Amino acid sequence: MLRHIAVSNWELYCSGDQAENKNLEGYADFLAGLALGDHKRLHGKEKPDVLLVREKQLSQSQYLQLFASVWKKVKTYDQKKEGKAALLIPHTFLEAAWQTGCGWLHLPLPVFEKYQEQNILSGLQVGTSVHSVEEAREAQKRGAAYILAGHIFSTQCKQGVSPRGLEFLEQVCASVTIPVYAIGGIHRDNLPLIQRTKAAGVCQMSEYMLHNENNK
């Protein structure tokens, strides 16, 4: 069964009609709801196994504030309720992993390589993003816990850039033994195509960040 990773995006949240409060605290409530499987936030979509908090639009101080707030909300959740919270993974900001003690971090491959050389990732499980088979092999060689491979299908986030496609995904999966997650333009209509590959799961941003007639 494919695992689902929800990828956050502040700008998409603010543009969608699910945005109850367009401020960081309201956004933290929304993300915590996703991680906890709140039906009000999911709108019928699959509860994510992982929530990757990726926010290029926010400053470091804003990001640390957001991640800490989401972390606290999820960790203080009433455990008597059914289900298990999604795994929270900070993106780029090492300080977020240190401050919360979450034990996970996602880094772009060049940053992963740099931090490894500086020996500052001790105790963390690190995932990274790749765009070629060579990068996938290098990521595994460096001890990555998982990789995101993309972009697989056309997506508005990569306008004008040709997708790498399912053949690329298959090649990456065949080149490593660590989990590979497909990213880029994945929605419910093309999800069965990913299910036929050896990918461990999928990453979706718009599907979780936007609630409209096309994303129900």
For 16-38, what is the mean pLDDT? 86
131 within some domain:
yes
**In the predicted model, is pLDDT for residue 216 greater than 60?**
no
Q: How many CB atoms lie within 10 A of CB 139?
A: 27
Pick from 189, 216, 200, 215: which is nearest to 5 by CA? 200
215 within some domain:
no
Task: Kindly report the pTM of this predicted structure.
Answer: 0.93
**In the predicted model, is pLDDT for residue 1 greater than 60?**
yes
Range of lowest pLDDT (56-60, 81-85, 131-135):
81-85
| Structural domains in the chain (count) | 1
180 within some domain:
yes
Q: How confident is the model at residue 213 (pLDDT cuts 50, 70, 90)?
A: very low
105 within some domain:
yes
216 within some domain:
no
**In the predicted model, is pLDDT for residue 215 greater than 60?**
no
pLDDT at residue 214 in the model? 45
Could you write out the three-class secondary structure of 90-151?
Answer: EECCHHHHHHHCCCEEEEEHHHHHHHHHHCCCCCCEEEEEECCHHHHHHHHHCCCCEEEEEC
- Host domain of residue 94: 3-209
Domain at 152, CATH number: 3.20.20.70
198 within some domain:
yes
The proportion of the chain whose per-residue pLDDT surpasses 70, expressed as a percent, equals 91
Model pLDDT for residues 136-156, shown as the tens digit of each residue: 999 999 999 999 999 999 877
201 within some domain:
yes
78 within some domain:
yes
**In the predicted model, is pLDDT for residue 211 greater than 90?**
no
Residues 6 or more apart whose Cβ sits within 8 Å of residue 194? 2, 152, 166, 169, 182, 186, 202
